[in-house]
Amino acid sequence: MATDSTNTAEDLSTSTNASQGMEFSTDAYLDMDLLRFLTCGSVDDGKSTLIGRLLYDSKSIFEDQLEAAESASLSRGDQRMDLALLTDGLRAEREQGITIDVAYRYFATPKRKFIIADCPGHVQYTRNMVTGASTANLALILIDARHGVIEQSRRHSFITSLLRIPHLVVCVNKMDLVEWSEEKYNKIREDFEEFAARFEITDITFIPMSALTGDNVVNRSENMDWYQGPSLLHHLENVHIAGDRDMIDPRFPVQWVIRPQGDEHHDYRGYGGQVASGVFQVGDDVVALPSGMESKIKSIDIGGESFQYASPPQSVSIQLETDIDVSRGDMICRPHNRPISGQDIDAMVVWMAETPMVVGKKYTIRHTSSDARCVIKELRYRMDIDSLHRVEGATDLKLNEIGRVSFRTTKPLFFDPYRQCRATGSFIIVDEQTNNTVGAAMILGETS
């Protein structure tokens, strides 16, 4: 049954939720922050309807886009407009009625700008979900109130926890089809909390809703007076994300050395990069790795404009007081707060290629701004992502499989555990023959 995953333009525009409070203000816009979130689910759970409603109610779908989706539905013989046509961008997706790849969608309210990474939900698209999850601050998981917590909900929660998305919102959808039952909602909530206790997810919010009728999407529902929490949009606008960034441990991977050739700036030698974590300040004592040479920060600028501080995820150029040897792939940090330096590394790996990961094979890895070669020493176990059991004795990782892997690198990496810092705790694995990105790794720590 997927009757409620379709909608007509008219249904949406006559909805009672039509965007109060979405008036435009330049000042507000210039002061907005950015929330990247992930939606995962399949056609039947109402995800497209939910996204369609968020986009429509925030005036982010234009009439010509709506008309194009409508005429495509009609020419395909659908009775009503399929909102998935707004998000499914590739010919193959439209023809087959499936979502293959992550689609990025954008909308804004006066409080925030949002980037949605809209991911397919089925197990064969785990790698796509992981891709979308890697940059998200928040994950939305949809649960059909009629079916409760299913295998797919568990898998999505596990990936949310594996990628350490700080905030999770469980949307208990289609409440209209269970007579807005508080009892049904509470049962789902209890079931979810029970298995989620096994994951490290610090912030979970549950919202009963109907994306079709709009209850609790933008406005509070009148059909569920037993629910005292916020609507989904209200939650998305207000969830506290400033605390998600690590401001304690300064890490600055050097990407590019800025050295003007002309006479005018011949003394300028800036280290370009994006602050991975922590705060850097002019005058700070710093050390460059791997050389171990120490210096002080002389200046911080962006394209010539000076700043006193730099914090993540700013891209800046840092000059040091003394002329020490620093190049791409090096890391600038504080002398008394350094990342781990090591060549034997354990990580959770999501395999993303048709060709399986082979123990003993050499790959290239890209970590921060650094490249290294590595060899796979050991596959310690594979995770069965449906039962969440560890499978010992596995010999390879196939497409979409997840496991704990021990690596040996040809040179030391400067890293932190992924749980502490996403930017210095993650790397990608590249096949040296095909040049494809074949795996994503989240560092646990040094091999014990």
For other proteins, the closer CB: 198 or 265: 265
Contacts of 198 (CB under 8 A, 6+ apart): 388
Beta carbon of residue 290, minimum distance to other proteins (angstroms, whole number): 18
Burial class (CB in 10 A: 0-12, 13-18, 19+), 424: buried
Q: Which stretch binds other proteins (CB under 8 A): 44-52, 130-138, 145-153, 386-394?
A: 130-138
Distance CA 418, CA 447 (A): 14
Nearer to other proteins, 163 or 196 (CB): 163
Interface with other proteins (CB under 8 A), residue from 97, 148, 230, 272: 272
Residue placing its CB nearer to other proteins in the complex, 261 or 448: 261
Distant-in-sequence, close-in-space partners of 414: CB < 8 Å, separation ≥ 6: 289, 290, 331, 333, 338, 339, 340, 341, 368, 370, 424
Question: Is residue 399 at the binding interface for other proteins, with CB under 8 A as the rule?
Answer: no
Binding residue (CB under 8 A) for other proteins from 113, 361, 377, 408: 113
Question: In the range 360-379, which residues lie near other proteins by CB under 8 A?
Answer: 364, 366-367, 369
141/352 with CB nearer other proteins = 352
Distance between CA atoms of residues 59 and 36, nearest Å: 18
CA atoms of 338 and 414, how far apart (whole Å): 8
32 binds other proteins (CB under 8 A): yes
Q: Restricting to residues 79-108, which ones interact with other proteins according to CB under 8 A?
A: 86-92, 94, 100-106, 108
Among the residue ranges 206-214, 227-235, 255-263, 355-363, the one whose residues contact other proteins (CB under 8 A): 255-263
Q: Residue 108 carries which DSSP code?
A: E
Q: Where are the alpha helices (DSSP H) in 232-376?
A: 232-238
Cβ atoms of 333 and 252 within 8 Å: the answer is yes
**Residue tagged 């700070």 (tokens):** 284
Question: With respect to other proteins, which residue has the nearer C-beta, 202 or 387?
Answer: 202
Q: Which is nearer to other proteins, 259 or 398 (CB)?
A: 259
* Binder of other proteins out of 72, 293, 375, 399 (CB under 8 A): 72
- Sequence-distant (6+) residues with CB within 8 A of 3 are none
**Out of 27, 33, 325, 392, which residue is the one contacting other proteins (CB under 8 A)?**
33
Give the nearest distance from C-beta 54 to other proteins in angstroms: 14
Question: Hey, what are 398's tokens?
Answer: 């196939």
Stated as kind and residue range, the H or E segment containing 49 is helix 47-57
Residue 153 and residue 173 in contact, taking contact as beta carbons nearer than 8 Å: no
If binding is defined by CB under 8 A, does position 430 make contact with other proteins? yes
The reply on whether position 29 binds other proteins by CB under 8 A is yes
- Residue 146 to residue 53: CA distance in whole angstroms: 21
Alpha helices, H only, 370-446: none
Q: Candidates 139-147, 185-193, 269-277, 334-342 — which segment interacts with other proteins by CB under 8 A?
A: 269-277
Taking the complex as a whole, the smallest distance from the CB of residue 391 to other proteins amounts, in Å, to 23
287 sits in which H/E element:
strand 285-289
- Using CB under 8 A, which of the segments 197-205, 224-232, 302-310, 399-407 binds other proteins? 302-310
328 is a site residue for other proteins (CB under 8 A): yes
Among 1, 14, 263, 303, binds other proteins (CB under 8 A): 303
What's the one-letter identity of residue 324?
I
Q: Does 131 bind other proteins (CB under 8 A)?
A: yes
CB 199 within 8 A of CB 192: no
Cβ proximity to other proteins: between 174 and 269 the closer is 269
